[in-house]
Structure 1
């Protein structure tokens, strides 16, 4: 009984150990059967799977390399063509600009030559009698006359006028405005086609006060305004802007006109007799200096419709009489 129990107990222990042993040890032989089996399985696994993975990896690398090579080739081709196209366009632009510059230089050169020829023709024009001079002394006298003509042509000019013409102007006081962008821009007045008459629209103010108003515009920037002359209600004349510069008086005609502001006292805008007399003298001298006609004297009203000077916009007969007085002076 004792032997049977012992043998049965050993069998039970053997089965229990087999179940609990993770390595499947055969306790009768002392060998680990599971280890050998697992090793063979692992060997088969490690020998087959990596080879397959290597083949897949190599195929992917080849595919990626082929795609990359194709993209690089396409990119290089595109970049090369783009650079060539841009280079051609840049060369064409440079050539076009060079042609334009050449045309401009040639045009300016031709214009300069033409102007020079005309100027020399006028300055060096010798009378026909000079060539017909019978004696050397007569030729010398005629040459001196030509030189005098050249000197007169190139004589001293004051405010854009010949010195002799300027010297005949009526009495006035030069009190030029400071050069600024609001009342005296300093831009040249190259031609005079009209003379404009204005009124200050500020009754009872003097010529000096209105001149001060124009001067202050450079600081307060209130507006742009000025005139070449201001005539006070006592007849005094102040010149604010040189005659060879533009004034800001008639917006659309500043580039070819001279403007005169007139002070007044009457509510209807009529000038005092002193202002009127000075205005007539100044207008008469200006139309002679610039070879104009009385009809070239305009009101501010005649260019833009502004009622200035207001008295002469409401009394046409007085305006016509003013131009007649200028003509008869």
Structure 2
């Protein structure tokens, strides 16, 4: 075979090999494309199912759970009447507001019964009595009618007192500290969020704590100390 014939033969073999290589490469690409398309279709199915699963979890986690009211609170929720209890839902709680009842010598039960009567358009979530008893009047997820425009984002406590000075007796004071610290633990608040009616409208309420600023600060210190001891475990 001449040298020229050999060269032609080698070129022909190279062309055949090149065609085969292109054919194999093309087949490989098509195969990979088919696999990718199949995987993509599977992914689409999973993505479509995911929002349904997430929605079901969301519905479960957003269900309201009833707050456990301590046994030392006497729960006497007044009926909805469009005045003392309007049934408006609280969206958040920013502060705990302290009031005094203003009627010297009246009991927690007497004040509760007044709120529940037909002639009242005021109320509070809690009343602390002369003997330290605590009555709940309004559910914690609703407005009370005590703190003006702050009804929408606060929990109100009315406190009974023996005389016109508005000073709270020892049993009343002790129960008030206990109640306030419990509410702080429920809503994740500290003493910066324990305020007087006075701090909202400058009304002389609670009178003794308005007339004696030092006693108000001392009260908040006692609340802080009790909160730390009771709810953080630090002695």
TM-score after normalising by structure 1: 0.50
Alignment of 1:208 onto 2:109: yes
Structure 1 Cα separation of the partners of residues 175 and 80 of structure 2: 27
Equivalent residue number for residue 87 of structure 2: 186
User: Does the 8 Å contact 1:170/1:281 carry over to 2?
Assistant: no
Q: 1:301 to 1:170 in 2, by over 3 A?
A: farther
Contact 1:307 1:313 in 2 (8 A): yes
Could you tell me how far apart the structure 2 residues matched to 1:326 and 1:170 are?
A: 20
Q: Secondary structure at the match of 1:209?
A: helix
Q: Quick one: distance in 1 between partners of 2:203 and 2:164?
A: 18
1:172 corresponds to 2:73: yes
Could you say what secondary structure the match of 1:195 adopts?
strand
Residue 235 in 1 paired to residue 132 in 2? yes
- Tell me: CA distance 1:327–1:234, structure 2 relative to 1, closer, same or farther (3 Å): same
Q: Could you tell me how far apart the structure 2 residues matched to 1:248 and 1:121 are? A: 37
* Structure 2 Cα separation of the partners of residues 279 and 231 of structure 1: 7
Instruction: Measure the CA separation in 1 of the matches of 2:94 and 2:203.
Output: 20
Secondary structure at the aligned position of 2:156 is classed as strand
Q: Does 1:268 align with 2:202?
A: no
Structure 1 alignment gaps of length 5 or more: 1-116, 125-149
C-alpha separation in 1, matches of 2:147 and 2:193:
15
Matched, 1:157 2:91: no
How far residue 252 of structure 1 moved from its aligned partner, in angstroms, is 0.7
Aligned partners of 2:63, 2:180: CA distance in 1, in Å? 25
Structure 1 residue runs of 4+, over 4 Å off? Answer: 121-124, 153-156
Distance (Å, rounded) in 1 between the aligned partners of 2:221 and 2:77: 31
Question: Equivalent residue for 2:5?
Answer: none
Secondary structure in 1 matching 2:103: coil
Secondary structure at 2:177's aligned position in 1?
helix
Matched with 2:54 is 120
Task: Tell me which of 282, 288, 300 is aligned to 2:185.
Answer: 288
- 2:34 equivalent in structure 1: none
Tell me what 1:258 maps to: 155
> Which residue is equivalent to 1:102?
none
Bigger Rg, which one: 1
In structure 1, distance between residues paired with 2:56 and 2:191: 31
Does the Cα contact within 8 Å between 1:231 and 1:237 map onto a contact in 2? yes
With over 3 angstroms needed to count, the CA separation of the structure-2 counterparts of 1:121 and 1:275, relative to structure 1, is same
More helix, by proportion: 1
Structure 2 length-normalised TM: 0.69
How many angstroms does 1:267 deviate by?
Answer: 2.5
The equivalent residue for 1:279 is 176
Question: Which runs of 5 or more residues in structure 2 are unaligned?
Answer: 1-50, 227-235
How far the C-alpha of 1:208 sits from its partner, in A, is: 0.5
Q: By how many angstroms is 1:171 displaced?
A: 0.9
How has the CA–CA distance of structure 1 residues 121 and 155 changed in structure 2, closer, same or farther, with 3 Å as cutoff? Answer: closer
Q: Which residue of 2 aligns with 1:104?
A: none
DSSP-derived class of the 1:196 partner: strand
- C-alpha displacement at 1:155, in angstroms? 7.0
Match of 1:303 among 200, 216, 232: 200
Return the offset for 1:211: 0.6
More relative contact order, 1 or 2 (CA 8 Å, 6+ apart): 2
